Amino acid sequence: MIVTGKQHIRLKNSTVLIADPIPFFRMGLLAMLRRFAPTPHVREADSMSATRQALRQDSFDLVLLDLSFAQTESARLRDDLDAAGHPPLITFCDAPSPALKSVAQSVGAAAIFSRTEQTQTVRMAVENVLGPSNTAPSLAMRDQSLDSDATTGLTERQREVHQLMLMGLPNKEIARRLGLSPNTVKVHMTIIFKKLGIASRYQALAPHSLL
């Protein structure tokens, strides 16, 4: 059993599924889990099919899931989660919305977070669902869109660039989609990093302040 502050976390003997298409984000979540236990038992999935296969093959104590997977096949995912004993589920997305919250609820998620959520908040969610002897109270569905937005200080254009960056798109593709030059996108990136207090895409693609 791992002790983090006043909370006892059962991560040492727990198995966690990290299901997300972005490698950097999976790495960030893994780094967070390692703060609870140096060598957590983790399985990674980079697609919906890999996620469903993992749920059918292994038993998990916690699932960290990108909501884009649930959007496409929510009914099948819900069936797989039910068959797996419905382990605690925490979901992530680029920008929470009422529609995404509905999807998260449909698959039984305990929480929905933006990818830019503060690490401390995500850790609290993990602590809640992996509390001592399963006695921790259920985590109420959290809609990050109702909370203070980490990107409040960005202009509308910077928000657009930021959201495409969170999708893992390179500068050239962001420029093409927004009708901008690559140099203009680069300038926006520099300003975004400064406003969000980050130094690289790596930090941006992980939960905010994770690394």
Note whether 160 and 180 are within 8 A (CB).
Answer: no
pLDDT value at residue 180: 86
CA nearest 34: which of 14, 54, 11?
11
pLDDT value at residue 44: 95
pLDDT value at residue 52: 93
pLDDT value at residue 65: 94
Whether residue 164 is contained in a domain is answered as: yes
Whether residue 190 is contained in a domain is answered as: yes
CA nearest 43: which of 25, 57, 28?
57
Note whether 31 and 210 are within 8 A (CB).
Answer: yes
SS3 call for 96:
coil
Sequence length of the chain is 211
For residue 52, the enclosing domain spans 2-146
pLDDT value at residue 210: 42
pLDDT value at residue 127: 75
Whether residue 151 is contained in a domain is answered as: no
**Those residues with Cβ within 8 angstroms of residue 181's Cβ, 6 or more apart along the chain or in another chain:** 175
Q: How far is residue 127's CA from residue 133's CA, in Å, rounded to a whole number?
A: 12
Same structural domain, 97 and 168? no
pLDDT value at residue 143: 42
| CATH number of the structural domain spanning residue 137 | 3.40.50.2300
Note whether 161 and 192 are within 8 A (CB).
Answer: yes
Same structural domain, 131 and 31? yes
pLDDT value at residue 159: 84
Note whether 193 and 159 are within 8 A (CB).
Answer: no
pLDDT value at residue 105: 85
CA nearest 92: which of 5, 38, 167?
167
Whether residue 123 is contained in a domain is answered as: yes
pLDDT value at residue 152: 56
pLDDT value at residue 149: 47
What is the number of H-type helices and E-type strands within the chain?
10, 7
Whether residue 70 is contained in a domain is answered as: yes
Note whether 110 and 138 are within 8 A (CB).
Answer: yes
Output the tens digit of pLDDT for each of the chain's 211 residues.
222 333 444 555 678 999 999 898 898 888 888 877 666 789 999 999 999 999 999 989 889 999 888 887 888 888 898 888 888 889 998 877 888 888 888 888 888 888 877 777 787 778 777 765 443 333 344 443 333 345 557 788 888 888 888 777 788 888 898 988 888 888 888 888 888 777 777 666 655 444 4
pLDDT value at residue 4: 31
- Count the domains in the chain: 2
Q: How far is residue 15's CA from residue 61's CA, in Å, rounded to a whole number?
A: 5
Same structural domain, 24 and 115? yes
CA nearest 210: which of 12, 26, 2?
26
Same structural domain, 162 and 98? no
